[in-house]
Structure 1
Amino acid sequence: MPIVNNHWRFHAFFGLLTFLGAVEAVDFASCLADVQAGNWGTVGGTDSTGQPASPISTATGVTYELCVRACGSGAEPFVWNIFSQQFTSWLLPYLALIAQLPFGADDKLDNVVAVLLSVGSPTLAVYSLAITTLNGHWIARRFSRFSYPNVRSAVQILSRLQQTPIEVINGSLLASLVVLPENDKWWSQLVGKLDYTHTWSISSVASIIWVATAFLFTVIDSFTVTINSSILNANGQGVGSVYLWLLPVVIGWLQLGPKCHSGRLHQAVGRVNAEAYIASDRGPIPADDSEGTPDRAIFLLQRVDSVRRDEQRSPPIYNYARFLPWVQAVEKVSLVFEQASQRAERYESVDPAIPWGREKGGKVRPENRRGTLAQVEAYVNPPRAVPRSYWGPEVLSRFLVSSFLALALTWSTTGAAVIVVWFTPTVGLGCRSGAYILYGVVSILVWMMLVTSSALAHYSTQSFDGHGEPVRTSARVAGNLSIILRRLGKVLATCNAVWIVVACILQFSSFFDRCYCNSSVFGLGHLAYDVITIVPADIATMKGAWGGAVALTCVSSMLFVGWVNIFVDPPLPTE
Structure 2
Amino acid sequence: MPNTTVGGTDNKGLPALVADATAITYDMCVQECGHHAEPASWTTFSQQFSAWLLPYLALISQLPFGANDKLSNLQSMLLTVGSPVLAAYSLILTTLNGRWIARRFLPYRRHPLASRAVRALSRLQQAPLRITDDHDLLSALIHHEKNQQWWDELLSWLNLTHSWSISAATSIVWVFIAFIFTVIDSLSTNIDESVWANGQAVGSVWLWLLAVVVGWLQISPKCDSVHLDHSLERANKLAFTSSGKSIAETDTEPAIYLDMDPSTLRYDESRSPPIFNYARSAALVQAVERVADAFDVCLPFFHYLHRTPQAHAKDSSSTGETIEFLDREPQENPGVKKKIADPFIIRPRARRMPQRWGDGTWERIFISSCIALFLQWSTTGAAFMVLWYTPTKGMGCRSFAYLCYGILSTLVWAVMLLSSILSHYAVTTDPQRAFSVRIAKGASIMLRRLGKCVASVNAIGLVVICVLQFGNVFDRCYCNSSKLTLGDKAYMVIQFRQDDIDDMTQAWAGGVVLSGITTIVFYLLVNLFVEPSFPSPDSRNN
- The separation in 1 between residues aligned to 2:333 and 2:465, in whole angstroms, is 74
How far residue 243 of structure 1 moved from its aligned partner, in angstroms, is: 0.4
* TM-score, structure 2 as length reference: 0.92
Matched, 1:463 2:434: no
Aligned counterpart in structure 1 of residue 256 of structure 2, from 298, 311, 316: 298
Matched, 1:396 2:362: yes
Structure 2 residue aligned with 1:272: 235
Aligned counterpart in structure 2 of residue 492 of structure 1, from 447, 454, 469: 454
Structure 2 residue aligned with 1:158: 121
How far residue 137 of structure 1 moved from its aligned partner, in angstroms, is: 1.1
Q: Is the Cα contact below 8 Å between 1:131 and 1:402 reproduced in 2? A: yes
Structure 1 residue aligned with 2:311: none
Matched, 1:561 2:507: no
SS of the residue corresponding to residue 245 of structure 1 reads helix
How far residue 149 of structure 1 moved from its aligned partner, in angstroms, is: 2.5
Structure 2 residue aligned with 1:180: 144
* TM-score, structure 1 as length reference: 0.86
Matched, 1:238 2:201: yes
Structure 1 residue aligned with 2:107: 145
Structure 2, unaligned runs of 5 or more: 308-315, 317-321, 326-331, 538-542
RMSD over aligned CA atoms reads: 1.8
Structure 2 residue aligned with 1:333: 291
Structure 2 residue aligned with 1:310: 268
Aligned counterpart in structure 2 of residue 106 of structure 1, from 55, 68, 71: 68
Structure 2 residue aligned with 1:360: none
How far residue 237 of structure 1 moved from its aligned partner, in angstroms, is: 0.7
SS of the residue corresponding to residue 488 of structure 1 reads helix
- The separation in 1 between residues aligned to 2:338 and 2:360, in whole angstroms, is 34
Task: Single out whichever of 442-451 and 215-224 deviates more from structure 2.
Answer: 215-224
How far residue 203 of structure 1 moved from its aligned partner, in angstroms, is: 0.5
- The separation in 2 between residues aligned to 1:309 and 1:366, in whole angstroms, is 48
What is the letter of the counterpart of residue 492 of structure 1?
A: V
**Alpha carbons of structure 1 residues 366 and 198: separation in structure 2 relative to 1, 3 Å:** farther
Structure 2 residue aligned with 1:483: 445
The C-alpha deviation readout for 1:467-494, integer Å capped at 9, x for no partner, is xxx8621111101110000001000000
SS of the residue corresponding to residue 357 of structure 2 reads coil
Aligned counterpart in structure 2 of residue 431 of structure 1, from 394, 397, 405: 397
How far residue 464 of structure 1 moved from its aligned partner, in angstroms, is: 6.7
- The separation in 1 between residues aligned to 2:294 and 2:79, in whole angstroms, is 37
**Alpha carbons of structure 1 residues 240 and 366: separation in structure 2 relative to 1, 3 Å:** farther
Matched, 1:49 2:12: yes
- The separation in 2 between residues aligned to 1:366 and 1:560, in whole angstroms, is 53
Aligned counterpart in structure 2 of residue 453 of structure 1, from 391, 414, 419: 419
Structure 2 residue aligned with 1:11: none
SS of the residue corresponding to residue 392 of structure 1 reads coil
- The separation in 2 between residues aligned to 1:367 and 1:351, in whole angstroms, is 14
- The separation in 2 between residues aligned to 1:341 and 1:44, in whole angstroms, is 85
Structure 1, unaligned runs of 5 or more: 1-34, 358-364
SS of the residue corresponding to residue 330 of structure 1 reads helix
What is the letter of the counterpart of residue 318 of structure 1?
A: F
The C-alpha deviation readout for 1:10-42, integer Å capped at 9, x for no partner, is xxxxxxxxxxxxxxxxxxxxxxxxx8x57xx64
SS of the residue corresponding to residue 118 of structure 1 reads helix
How far residue 432 of structure 1 moved from its aligned partner, in angstroms, is: 0.5
Q: Is the Cα contact below 8 Å between 1:86 and 1:235 reproduced in 2? A: yes
SS of the residue corresponding to residue 285 of structure 1 reads coil
- The separation in 2 between residues aligned to 1:387 and 1:184, in whole angstroms, is 27
Matched, 1:212 2:176: yes
Matched, 1:285 2:248: no
- The separation in 2 between residues aligned to 1:416 and 1:180, in whole angstroms, is 57
**Alpha carbons of structure 1 residues 149 and 73: separation in structure 2 relative to 1, 3 Å:** same
> What pairs with 1:461-540 in structure 2 (closer than 5 Å)?
461-463=427-429, 472-540=434-502
Q: Is the Cα contact below 8 Å between 1:90 and 1:240 reproduced in 2? A: yes
- The separation in 1 between residues aligned to 2:171 and 2:8, in whole angstroms, is 48
Q: Is the Cα contact below 8 Å between 1:91 and 1:239 reproduced in 2? A: yes
Structure 1 residue aligned with 2:167: 203
- The separation in 1 between residues aligned to 2:263 and 2:129, in whole angstroms, is 14
Q: Is the Cα contact below 8 Å between 1:100 and 1:204 reproduced in 2? A: yes
What is the letter of the counterpart of residue 423 of structure 1?
A: Y
**Alpha carbons of structure 1 residues 549 and 285: separation in structure 2 relative to 1, 3 Å:** same
Number of residues paired by the alignment?
A: 514
How far residue 159 of structure 1 moved from its aligned partner, in angstroms, is: 0.5
- The separation in 2 between residues aligned to 1:459 and 1:370, in whole angstroms, is 41
What is the letter of the counterpart of residue 386 of structure 2?
A: V
Percent of paired sites with the same residue: 47
Aligned counterpart in structure 2 of residue 319 of structure 1, from 265, 277, 280: 277
- The separation in 2 between residues aligned to 1:486 and 1:48, in whole angstroms, is 47
How far residue 340 of structure 1 moved from its aligned partner, in angstroms, is: 2.0
**Alpha carbons of structure 1 residues 366 and 417: separation in structure 2 relative to 1, 3 Å:** farther
Q: Is the Cα contact below 8 Å between 1:520 and 1:528 reproduced in 2? A: yes
- The separation in 1 between residues aligned to 2:353 and 2:85, in whole angstroms, is 34
How far residue 290 of structure 1 moved from its aligned partner, in angstroms, is: 4.3
What is the letter of the counterpart of residue 285 of structure 1?
A: K
